Structure 1
Amino acid sequence: MWSFMSTDGIPPEERLDWYSDIVSREVMPAALSSERPAEFQGESAVLDLGDVRATRASMSPLRSRRTAAMIRRGDPEQYQLALLLKGTVSLTQHRNECTTGVGDLMLWDTSRPSDCRMPAEDGRVRVSILMLPRNVIPLRPQRLDRMLARRIPGNTGMAAILASYMTSIEAHSAACTPQELHRLGTIAADLATACLAQHLDAEDQLPADVRRQALLQRIHTFIEHNLGDPELNPPAIAARHHMSVRTLHKLFHDQGESVHARIRRRRLERCRTDLADLGLRSRPVSAIAARWGFSGPVLFSRCFREAFGLTPTEFRALSINDSRAERSAR
């Protein structure tokens, strides 16, 4: 699970040095400095995903420099890919320089000197980072050098899918088994590779399993965005992704869940969330079912009972009672 560290409880005059020691020990040696060291606050957490590690961090603006001497002192030999969730960050490495904002990604190499700056006037920074050993990225280092310190917009293509996946790890990893966490790490590495390859026009050089995983995530994302469409079905999905229906079914068969099962499960989960939402209690059950693509209330009620053991109406009543009892106990 997440290993958590925070400057809370550390005397203000010691917080920056303490945080710098943590970063140097848990991530890589780096020199941290701040324009307002007495006001510095920071927290971070690390999650092991097999060969890959995920890090989330929130901190007051600072500057992080990594010199050749620091690399000699300690180098995890990783590519680190960051998704900026709050604030602004500028990075310089390998003769490249970029400034990123919320929703952008950027890549750096721990084996090269770097200079990372967070402007004080832009406020606190929050970031999600994938720490990727070199051997899990099957792209030539000479090509990857072109991606160092380069802004990668996170709202289109594989970058958008990767960004969504990174935030979902943070949101849902607590419920995962060690085996599932290892699988999450493998998928994260494949998506990061596919994202970088797309920006390098090198997708044809990817191993078949990486291309397959990237395609599957594209399809999952397409399904998520179209759950409310009652016409969402295997032929429509296959046509959108330029493949045969047979190929689509084989892709899902290898995952242990059919296309139909995936669509129905995600629709039911969305309906369950809405039915438990007190803010939607005046919305009819039939309207919630229609919102998520069910063709009629009878089919929806039967599917919901099969999945959760209660009718939608029974589940909603129980959820409302539980929410009221919880608020009364506060």
Structure 2
Amino acid sequence: MEREDAVGKSGPAGPVSVSSDSVSGPDGFDRWGEMVGKAVMPVTMASEHADHFRGEATTLELARTEASAFSFSPMSAWRTPAHIRRSDPENYYLCLVHGSPIVLEQRRNDVLLTAGEMAIFDTSQPLFCDFQDHGRPTRVSLLRLPRAAVPLPGDRTDGLVATRLPAQAGSGVLLASFLTGLRANAGQFNTTELRRLGAMALEVAATFLAARLDLSPSLPVESRQQVLLARIDAFITHNLSDPELSPATIAAHHHISVRLLHALFEEEPETVGATIRRRRLERTRTDLADPRLRHRTIGEIALRWGFRHPADFSRAFRRAYGISPSDFRHTA
């Protein structure tokens, strides 16, 4: 298997990285089984596509968890009591389906999941998965949830396995969007961002599961604050192009005061304003380096990402990167 590690662009060294693996050809199916056994849990697999199996996996190793994106040929997998006796990492996995439907069976529950739907499964109990053949690869995102890191009663959480979890309302929308964003931008995060995203992922997932069990009030205050930060983080990302985006509009959208918004960011590496400015500058830098956008002027690109005045944008760009936008575009 090929493996590529992406080194974080900034921040302290630590157990965070991005890696990718791919298999293909006659021996791809056996290698895929080995990779799944190490990355998720040991299982027994079968596939009608074994002779020409193809699979790709990308894993973001975050603080205390991992988020993985898989794309592979149709197959089935079993986790038996014998597998569990040999190796049990004691994890839940949250699964979000992007491609062909999948079937999950665990604890006498069974569910058919189609694109956009979510469920959890447990490594400590027997499991059957059928990744169906609908003429296109199976694509799923997985978020590892260590049982010890889920602040909910284990017996109650176990009852949720292999049941359809709502992804179109409440915190389910946030969680599905979060996982989809991680999948789409796996190679774009720096080390500091990966650390924050790991903590956010666990908090958002715990809040989501607590709501399913009607246990939200029992979550620690810190968890609820992290979920609010995750919602704010997603809102900033989705509205960077709006020149009206500001601490005041963010606070109003989330029904909190500007003072509380700034208080939430006191433990973060940046203020709210600095976060907006940095992300806008990162988007403009990406566009300036893109040869497909050479027909756009620097001013148009700046305006596209919320900078009203070209002169202000140029000064901010030079302060951040030590070079003018025009010189960066030329060298890029």
With normalisation by structure 1, the TM-score equals 0.83
CA–CA distance in structure 2, aligned partners of residues 53 and 284 of structure 1 = 40
Output one character per residue of 1:91-114: Cα deviation in whole Å (capped at 9) or x when no partner.
122232222233332210112222
C-alpha RMSD of matched pairs (Å): 2.7
Q: Secondary structure at the match of 1:86?
A: coil
Query: What is the CA–CA distance in structure 2 between the aligned matches of 1:85 and 1:66, rounded to whole Å?
Result: 23
Match of residue 42 from structure 2: 29
What is residue 202 of structure 1 aligned with on the other side?
215
227, 245, 255: which one aligns with 1:242: 255
Task: Provide the rounded CA distance (Å) in 2 between the counterparts of 1:63 and 1:197.
Answer: 30
Alpha-carbon distance in 2 for matches of 1:2, 1:258:
26
Q: Which moved more, 1:251-260 or 1:147-156?
A: 147-156
Range with bigger deviation, 227-236 or 43-52: 43-52
- Cα deviation per residue 1:207-261 (whole Å; 9 max; x = unaligned)? 1221111110100111111222222211221111111111100111210311111
Larger radius of gyration: 1
Specify the code of the residue in structure 2 equivalent to 1:295.
R
SS of the equivalent of 1:147 reads coil
C-alpha contact (below 8 Å) 2:24/2:52 kept by paired residues: no
Assess, with a 3 A threshold, how the Cα gap between structure 1 residues 316 and 2 changes in structure 2: closer, same or farther: closer
Gapped runs of 5+ residues in structure 2?
Answer: 1-16
Q: Which amino acid aligns with 2:270?
A: E
Q: List alignment gaps of at least 5 residues for structure 1.
A: 320-330
Quick one: structure 1 residues 173 and 311, their matched pair in 2 at CA, closer, same or farther if it must change by over 3 Å?
Answer: closer
Return the match for 2:161 from 126, 148, 154: 148
Residue 112 of structure 2: aligned partner: 99
Counterpart residue type for residue 274 of structure 1: D
Instruction: Tell me whether 1:225 sits opposite 2:238 in the alignment.
Output: yes
CA distance in 2, matches of 1:257, 1:142: 39
Q: Kindly report which structure 2 residues correspond to 1:46-57, keeping only aligned pairs within 5 A, or say none.
A: 46=59, 48-57=61-70
1:265 paired to 2:278: yes
Mapped partners of 1:172, 1:70: distance in 2: 31
Verify: 1:312 aligned to 2:308, yes or no.
no
Shift in CA distance, 53/273, structure 1 to aligned 2, threshold 3 Å: closer
Aligned to 2:141: 128
Counterpart of 1:100, as a letter, is L
Tell me how far 1:18 sits from its aligned partner: 4.5
Question: What residue number does 1:256 align with?
Answer: 269
CA contact (8 A) 2:53 2:72 kept: yes
Higher helix share: 1
Match of 2:95 in 1: 82
Equivalent pair of 2:18/2:186 in contact (CA under 8 Å): no
TM-score for both structures, normalised by structure 2: 0.83
**For the residues of structure 1 that align with 2:187 and 2:309, how far apart are their CA atoms?**
34
Distance 1:289 1:76, change over 3 A: same
In structure 2, what is the Cα distance between the partners aligned to 1:296 and 1:188?
36
8 Å contact 1:92–1:149 — kept in the other structure?
yes
Change in CA separation of 1:64 and 1:172 when aligned onto 2, cut-off 3 Å? closer
Distance 1:202 1:43, change over 3 A: same
Percent identical residues: 44
The answer to whether the 8 Å contact 2:44/2:77 transfers is yes
Counterpart position of 1:303: 316
User: Does the residue aligned with 2:207 lie in a helix, a strand or coil?
Assistant: helix
Q: May I ask how many residue pairs the two structures share in their alignment?
A: 315
Residues 157-176 of structure 1: CA distance to partner in whole angstroms, max 9, x if unpaired? 43343344435555446864
| Contact 2:97/2:114 (8 A) holds in 1 | yes
Amino acid at match of 1:208: V
Tell me the amino acid that sits aligned with residue 202 of structure 2.
Answer: A
Runs of 4+ in 1 over 6 A off after TM superposition: none
Per the alignment, residue 64 of structure 1 pairs with: 77
State whether residues 150 and 206 of structure 2, in contact with CA within 8 Å, keep that contact through their aligned partners in structure 1: yes
Amino acid at match of 2:103: S
Offset at residue 30 of structure 1 (A): 1.9
CA–CA separation in structure 2 for the residues paired with 1:53 and 1:74: 18
In 2, the alpha carbon distance for the partners of 1:298 and 1:18 equals 54
1:240–1:43 CA distance, 2 compared to 1 (3 A): closer
Describe the SS at the equivalent of 1:283: coil
**Alpha carbons of 1:316 and 1:5: their partners in 2 closer, same or farther (altered >3 Å)?**
closer
Change (3 A) 1:225 1:34: same
Residue 192 of structure 1 aligns with which residue?
205
- Residue 315 (structure 1) shift: 2.2
Per-residue deviation at 1:279?
Answer: 2.2
1:195 maps to a residue whose letter is F
| Equivalent position amino acid for 1:51 in 2 | R
Per-residue CA shift, 1:282-314, capped at 9, x if unaligned?
Answer: 223222222222222222222122112222222
